[in-house]
C-alpha cells in the first residue's frame, strides 16, 4: 500500500531528515503518515497545486542542508513534470532520494471522478510501464530501483539511504484503487466530510457518494 511505503520511509530515514512532496494523493498521505518532530523538515506547496514541486524542492533542500538526508515523495504524474532536474542533481552530485508511487493514474483526479462523478473517468490514465522510470532515472545519472513486492520495500529503502554520491530513484508499484481520506466534495462543508467505510457513523453509512 502507498501509505505503508510512506510510513516506512519516514521510520527509516528518521525525524531529522527533510521531506518534500509533489501534489496529489501522495502529498496527503505524506502529511498523514510521516511523523514530523522538527520545523523546516516538511516542504510542500500546500494547496497551490504545483505538480512537479517535489524534485526541485528536494534538490534545493539538499543544497541548503547538505548534512541532512532528503527524501522526495512523488506520484508518477508529478514526477514526469520535473524529472529532468535530476540531470543537474546527478551532474552536481546532489544525493537526493526520490520515491515514486506509480499507480498508473493521476490519482487525486481519478478519485474525484470515481467518488463524485459516477466513475466517468477522463484523461487520468497513465501507463504503468511508459515511461520506464528505472531506465529513465539511470539515463539521467541516477541509481534506480523498482519495488513490486512488500518484502522488498525496506531493503530497497536501506540501499537508497546508503548511497551518498548521486541521486537515487525508487519506483514503487502501487494499487490504483487506493483512496486518500478525509474528502470534502466541492461546495460542501466540513460537516459533510467523506471518510473510509470503517470510520463512518451509522448516518454516514446510509449515504451514497454522489455528484454535488
Sign of the four-CA dihedral 100, 114, 23, 16: negative
pLDDT at 140 over 90: yes
Which of 51, 2, 40 is CA-nearest to residue 175? Answer: 2
The CATH number for 133's domain is 3.40.50.970
Q: How far apart are CA 144 and CA 106, in angstroms?
A: 22
Q: Are residues 132 and 27 in the same domain?
A: yes
Q: Are residues 108 and 11 in the same domain?
A: yes
Q: What is the mean pLDDT of the chain?
A: 92
Q: What pLDDT is recorded for position 199?
A: 56
Q: Are residues 125 and 202 in the same domain?
A: no
**Measured in whole angstroms, how far is the alpha carbon of residue 21 from the centre of its chain?**
6
Q: What pLDDT is recorded for position 110?
A: 93
Q: Are residues 104 and 152 in the same domain?
A: yes
Q: What pLDDT is recorded for position 187?
A: 87
pLDDT of 69-91, one tens digit each?
Answer: 999 999 999 999 999 999 999 99
Contacts of 200 (CB under 8 A, 6+ apart): none
pLDDT of 34-50, one tens digit each?
Answer: 999 999 999 999 999 99
Full domain range(s) for residue 206:
183-212
Q: Are residues 64 and 12 in the same domain?
A: yes
Q: Are residues 16 and 79 in the same domain?
A: yes
What's the average model confidence in pLDDT over 94-112?
95
Band of the pLDDT at 212, cuts 50, 70, 90? very low
Q: Are residues 100 and 81 in the same domain?
A: yes
pLDDT of 163-210, one tens digit each?
Answer: 999 999 999 999 999 999 998 888 888 888 888 876 555 555 555 555
Q: Are residues 67 and 134 in the same domain?
A: yes
Q: Are residues 55 and 21 in the same domain?
A: yes
Percent of the chain with pLDDT over 90: 80
Q: Are residues 84 and 173 in the same domain?
A: yes
Q: Are residues 206 and 123 in the same domain?
A: no
Number of structural domains in the chain: 2
Q: Are residues 82 and 113 in the same domain?
A: yes
Amino acid at each position: 500500500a502507498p501509505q505503508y511505503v510512506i510510513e516506512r520511509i519516514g521510520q527509516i530515514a528518521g525525524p531529522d531528515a527533510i521531506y518534500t512532496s509533489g501534489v496529489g494523493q501522495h502529498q496527503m498521505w505524506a502529511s498523514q503518515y510521516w511523523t514530523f518532530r522538527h520545523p523546516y523538515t516538511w516542504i510542500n506547496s500546500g494547496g497551490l497545486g504545483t505538480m512537479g514541486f517535489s524534485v526541485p524542492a528536494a534538490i534545493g533542500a539538499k543544497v541548503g542542508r547538505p548534512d541532512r538526508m532528503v527524501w522526495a515523495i512523488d506520484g508518477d504524474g508529478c514526477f514526469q513534470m520535473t524529472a529532468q532536474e535530476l540531470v543537474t542533481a546527478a551532474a552536481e552530485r546532489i544525493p537526493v532520494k526520490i520515491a515514486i508511487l506509480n499507480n498508473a493514474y493521476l490519482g487525486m483526479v481519478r478519485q474525484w471522478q470515481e467518488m463524485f462523478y459516477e466513475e466517468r473517468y477522463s484523461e487520468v490514465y497513465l501507463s504503468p510501464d511508459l515511461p520506464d522510470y528505472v531506465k529513465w532515472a539511470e539515463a539521467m545519472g541516477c541509481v534506480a530501483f523498482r519495488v513490486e513486492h512488500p518484502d522488498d520495500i525496506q531493503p530497497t529503502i536501506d540501499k537508497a539511504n546508503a548511497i551518498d554520491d548521486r541521486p537515487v530513484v525508487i519506483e514503487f508499484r502501487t494499487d490504483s484503487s487506493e483512496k486518500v481520506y478525509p474528502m470534502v466534495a466541492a461546495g460542501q462543508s466540513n460537516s459533510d466530510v467523506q471518510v473510509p467505510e470503517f470510520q463512518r457513523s451509522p448516518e454516514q453509512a446510509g449515504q451514497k457518494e454522489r455528484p454535488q
